[in-house]
Structure 1
Amino acid sequence: MRILLTLASLLVATQLLAADEPSVPPNIVVILVDDMGYGDPACFNAGSKIKTPHINALASAGMRFTDAHAPGPLCHMSRYGLLTGRYPFRTNVNLWRKQPLIEPQQMTIASLAKTQGYRTAMVGKWHLGFRESGYDQPLPGGPVDCGFDSFFGIRASTDIPPYFYIRNDRAVEPPTNQIEANRSEGWSPIQGAFWRAGGIAPDLKLDDVLPRFTNEAIDVIETHAAKSAKEDENKPLMLYLAYPAPHTPWLPSEPYVGKSAVGMYGDFVMMVDDQIGRVLSALRKANMHDNTLVVFTSDNGPVWYEADVARLKHDSAGTLRGMKADAWEAGHRMPFIVRWPNRVKPGGRSDQLVCFTDLLATFAEIMGVTLPADAGPDSFSFLPSLTGQPGAATNKRKQIVMQPGSRSMMTIRSGDWKLITGLGSGGFSKPNRVKPTADGPRGQLYNL
């Protein structure tokens, strides 16, 4: 009996010592997809008609957040908040075509990570502007000037010209060719295989962009693992992978065509899910799975109309009202998953109110860093809820403030209440804006 008690005491002491030891900083991989609705992944909508096995597996191995929100219901708004911890209404995000939205020296999740010895990389869609003086010239103000050691990606969406790849701060090939506009019969003008006319680089094919980004992300992971095998290169990795899909153009490759019951959109979502699966598999093959925190989410709501729900029997918004760009819930409530082996309990679910802006403060707490006073003013760590730490309930975010796509009204979420300071959707859903009557309401108030 004494031997058993001694062994038990040693085991407890060992566990306590291990708990007191500083943990190895985790690798961090943020996977941001584009225009995927809350109701598309089956792990958030049991009625989804689209198979998303890799996203579902990520949820089973981590924690689902059911009340997570983009800081704005459009691509550039969402990305600005995610990287900086600032609400996008704090700057003029509409200037992204002319100038960088992130100010020099402004802290981002990448620049934070670099201060803590991380190797940082971005692959995918930027959409936060460059200082452009010709596509045969350097493109300052982009990812490599915002904390990322390397960048391979595109300027904006794959339906917004010019279309060309960027490596770090230079066009791989300038957009010297031209491509005609395209759209698909049977869909609205901003659905299907839709893209705008404009310049395109000779080496870029729109239907190759998605797998190309996956290959680049896998290369980042494999290169990092090889460097980490050297004792003097043992750094953690932060990878921000911003897929420009399932945003238009919907371009599923041949193996996915006709595989879903939701037309070309569902086929494309299945392709996106498979690309995510390839990246997660690469982490495991590189022996990085166990010490990598993975965040998965979508930048804003889907372009999915009531007519699409009626015709295809699939609700991309998951019964939420509205769509992309709207002040209504479907515009900004997003599927949000965090997997962190041995730290986050598998199969967990949280109804905590969180916003993409919270990643900066959460990552800072994970790294043991106190943010400067001028960094991430709209960022609140959700680490206590993520890991089940005592006192998590007292640390919860209570409010979110944002603008819809039209930027003509504000949305304020406080507890279970949501105020929209105007009438209409404020976005793509009709009516966009309704003029109030003399004696009628001037806004919308909902108890969620």
Structure 2
Amino acid sequence: KPGQKKKNKKKRRRAASPLLDFTKPILDGPNRRGFDDSLVIPASLDFPPYVYVRNTRITSSTTIDQPAVKFPGFLRRGPRGKDLVMSDCLDHLKQQAIAFLEQRAREPKTPFFLYFPLTAPHKPVLPHPRFRGKTQLGPYGDFIAQVDDTVGAVLQAIDRTGLASNTLVIYTSDNGSFMRRRDQPDARDHVDDPSIQAFRSDRHQSNRHLRGTKADIWEAGHRVPFLARWPGHIKPGSRNAATICLTDLFATFADSLGKELPKAAAPDSYSFLAQLIGKGTPHRRPPVIHHSAAGMFAIRDGRWKLVLGNGSGGRQAPRGRPFAKPYFLADLVADPSEKTNLADKHPDIAIRLEKAALRIRRGPLPR
């Protein structure tokens, strides 16, 4: 009945459930979503089953029962294939990406798309042995060094194979770092104890000066690096402060190919090709909606951002509640660290943004 709690909760089934048949093909995967060839893991590397999936089938039987491991090498218990070694996973995927590029270079007139989502620096924080101790910033710092090396190796492969002149490369992220910032000069952090998920600000700032952490509605949860390289199209060293969202990649790619999207396709995607190449008339994007791990919303329009709740909506205290007041209005140009709430000073802007957010929640705006 509504409002009545269940008395008997079902026990959680063990991760290595005998009811799962890993030998069956995975039919609703990347190959059904437009990819001709794929090598993936089922989720981030801290979730079982720990297997490689080549197109529709796992590459090795799950004969290993992987025990749970605490941070930094955080793993959940579950089945693992014998060919997946956690600290080798990023290297293996890198080698496969480079092999793909070398293959495509033999057909230079055939277009290609490579999507290479890195397993690092997401948990488990397990840098390859050759990177351990490189940064003096603990395993997480060493893991970031391995990310740099991985991206560099892919770029070198693009250059070496002669693909660079006609290849758009984008490097970005889906969220900010989970590493918290500690401003106290005597605070213990990840350097002192690798099990601590925080850095002293005088040692390292994973999210720079931004407020919050991964999963929060604050800027550290949502503002991410976005770097692009496209010889002959993007001026090296150029910058652009326009607000974009990763959903905009779809429309931007279509625009770069001279293709017009059907009206019903990707309604929340807006091309930023003009900003990317510095030519043409830039399209001013409608407001961007942010969403935290615990259901907090925010809306961003130009320099202004309104948090529709009274906390982080994620991991940083106070977490608050969605749509509970007071709301937080920030001027991200003058105050990117979101230290000052301007909702009382600019109530007209707060009201306008709140109305816009509620309008967008009802359906996408016309492109």
1 or 2 for the larger relative contact order (CA 8 Å, sep ≥6)?
A: 1
Structure 2 equivalent of residue 143 of structure 1 = 30
Deviation at 1:254, TM superposition (A): 2.1
CA offsets, 1:297-334, max 9 Å, x none? 01111011133332762111110001111100000100
Residues 1:397 and 2:285 aligned together: yes
Of 81, 87, 92, the residue aligned with 1:212 is 92
CA displacement at 1:421 relative to structure 2:
1.4
**Which residue in 2 is equivalent to 1:444?**
328
Question: How much has 1:383 moved relative to structure 2?
Answer: 0.6
Name which of 118, 122, 131 aligns with 1:247. 122
Query: Is 2:163 the partner of 1:163?
Result: no
Q: TM-score by structure 1 length?
A: 0.64
Structure 1 CA distance for aligned equivalents of residues 328 and 201 of structure 2: 30
Query: How far apart, CA to CA, are the structure 1 residues paired with 2:107 and 2:258?
Result: 24
Q: Does 1:370 align with 2:257?
A: no
C-alpha distance in 2, partners of 1:258/1:312?
19
Kindly state the Cα deviation for residue 249 of structure 1 after the two structures are TM-superposed.
Answer: 0.9
Per-residue Cα deviation, 1:335-364 (whole angstroms, up to 9, x for no partner): 001110011101001000000011111100
Name the CA shift for 1:209/1:368 in 2 (closer, same or farther; >3 Å). Answer: same
Q: Which amino acid aligns with 1:337?
A: L
Corresponding residue for 2:159? 284
Match of 1:385 among 255, 270, 275: 275
- Counterpart of 2:210? 320
Equivalent in the alignment of 1:183: 70
Give the deviation of 1:397 after TM superposition: 1.4
Residue matched to 2:319: 432
AA of the residue aligned to 2:223: R
More strand by share: 1
Structure-2 separation of matches of 1:208 and 1:323: 27
1:273-314 deviation per Cα after TM superposition (whole angstroms, max 9, x unaligned)? 101111111111111011110000011110111333327621
Post-superposition offset of 1:434: 5.0
C-alpha spacing 1:435/1:360, structure 2 compared with 1 (3 Å):
closer
Q: Secondary structure at the match of 1:350?
A: coil
Match for residue 342 of structure 1? 232
Alignment check: 8 A CA contact 1:321 1:330 kept: yes
- After superposition, the C-alpha distances for 1:183-240 in whole angstroms (9 at most, x for unaligned) are 24xxxxxxx1111111111111111100000000011111111234xxxxx3111100
C-alpha deviations, 1:397-418, integer Å up to 9, x for none? Answer: 14101311112x2111112111
Letter in 2 for 1:160: F
Cα displacement (A) at 1:133? 6.6
1:257 equivalent in alignment to 2:141: no
Structure 1: distance between partners of 2:79 and 2:201: 35
Task: Assess if the C-alpha contact under 8 Å between 1:411 and 1:419 holds in 2.
Answer: yes
CA distance in 1, matches of 2:264, 2:89: 37
Report the Cα distance in structure 2 between the residues aligned to 1:298 and 1:134, rounded to whole angstroms.
33
Contact 2:51 2:84 in 1 (8 A): yes
Tell me what 1:25 maps to: none
2:222–2:290 contact (8 Å) kept in structure 1 = no
Q: SS state of the match for residue 121, structure 2?
A: coil
Letter paired with 2:78: G
How much has 1:176 moved relative to structure 2? 3.0
- Counterpart residue type for residue 146 of structure 1: R
Residues 180 and 196 in structure 1, CA contact (< 8 A), matched pair in contact too = yes
Match of 2:172 in 1: 297
Q: Shift of the alpha carbon at 1:435?
A: 8.9
Q: For residues 349 and 435 of structure 1, what CA distance do their matches in structure 2 show?
A: 34
TM-score (norm 2): 0.78
> What corresponds to 1:172 in structure 2?
59
- Letter matched to residue 288 of structure 1: L
2:112 to 233, 237, 245: 237
C-alpha contact 2:308 2:322 (8 A) present in aligned 1: no
Unaligned runs of 5+ in 1: 1-131, 185-191, 229-233
For residues 352 and 140 of structure 1, the distance between their equivalents in structure 2, rounded to whole angstroms, comes to 39
Q: Is contact 2:51–2:59 with CA below 8 Å preserved after alignment?
A: yes
* 4+ runs deviating over 3 angstroms: 434-437
- For the residue of structure 2 that corresponds to 1:412, the secondary structure is strand
Q: What do residues 113-164 of structure 1 show as CA deviations (whole Å, max 9, x unaligned)?
A: xxxxxxxxxxxxxxxxxxx973211112211111111100100011111110
CA contact (8 A) 1:262 1:312 kept: no
The 2-side partners of 1:309 and 1:202 are apart by 35
Once residues 268 and 294 of structure 1 are traced to their aligned partners in structure 2, the CA distance between those partners, rounded to angstroms, is 22
The number of residue pairs the alignment matches comes to 299
**CA deviation digits over 1:36-58, x for unaligned, max 9?**
xxxxxxxxxxxxxxxxxxxxxxx
Aligned to 2:298: 411
| Conserved? CA contact 1:321–1:329, under 8 Å | yes
Superposition deviation, residue 429 in structure 1? 1.5
Find the aligned partners of 1:140 and 1:410 in 2 and give their Cα distance.
34
CA distance in 1, matches of 2:204, 2:140: 11
* Unmatched tracts of structure 2, length 5 or more: 1-18, 183-197, 333-367
SS of the counterpart of 1:338? strand
Q: Which moved more, 1:171-180 or 1:152-161?
A: 171-180
